[in-house]
Amino acid sequence: MSTPLDSTPLDKVIEDALVERELAFDKPEPGKFLVVLPGVKKQQTNCWLIVSKHALIVEAFVCRRPDEAFEEVYRYLLRRNARLYGVHYTIDKAGDIYLLGRVGLEAVTADELDRLLGQVLEAADGDFNTLLEIGFATAIRREWDWRTSRGESLANLKAFEHLLTPSQRGRVSEDSES
């Protein structure tokens, strides 16, 4: 049986940094923090900070498994990995997309947490629409048609208007004239 990790000093560093940066978080048990990072394109990104025996693990869900163009999505993620700091894109067994990182415990400071969480937010929020465009274009078009046919709001789909087919674009023009 392993002895519980005494994460108390590191927990204080993490908690103080999150409070100072006014980030919402839950601490379900010692050494585990679920941080809510507010976004623009992706409304929020939930990010786990988990203190393990030798490292702080950073893990954030980005989006579910793409419906289509898997190779293109994964190629994008692999290329993007080369420009990320402290985290990298990965997929789980289901193909869902995550950001994952490990930092040695001795390197965990308020400034380092700020850099890591900033990178998670920049990547998850900044890449979100691109991932949706590549991996969910057909679903976006279907959703656009469904909302249009029912007179529903298209506000959160406007960023994807360039994905519309010519016939969908014509219907948008007709709708905007009335």
Q: What's the CATH number where 69 sits?
A: 3.30.1460.10
Q: What is the dihedral of CA 36, 72, 103, 121, to 10 degrees?
A: -30
Structure tokens at 99: 């950001």
What is the DSSP code string of 119-174? Answer: HHHHHHHHHHHHHHHHHSHHHHHHHHHHHHHHT---GGGGGGGGG--HHHHHHHHH
- Which residue stretches of the chain have pLDDT < 70? 1-7, 168-178
Closest CA to 98 of 124, 117, 130: 124
Domain that holds residue 154: 137-177
pLDDT at residue 4, rounded to an integer: 44
pLDDT digits (tens, 9 = 90+) for 108-127: 999 999 999 999 999 999 99
How many domains does the chain divide into? 2
Task: Indicate the pTM of the whole model.
Answer: 0.85
pLDDT at residue 131, rounded to an integer: 97
User: Is 123 in the same domain as 169?
Assistant: no
pLDDT digits (tens, 9 = 90+) for 61-87: 999 999 999 999 999 999 999 999 999
User: Is 151 in the same domain as 127?
Assistant: no
Residue 97, amino acid: I
User: Is 98 in the same domain as 157?
Assistant: no
pLDDT at residue 102, rounded to an integer: 96
User: Is 63 in the same domain as 141?
Assistant: no
pLDDT at residue 154, rounded to an integer: 81
Residue 15, amino acid: E
Residue 1: inside a domain:
no
Residue 75: inside a domain:
yes
pLDDT at residue 160, rounded to an integer: 84
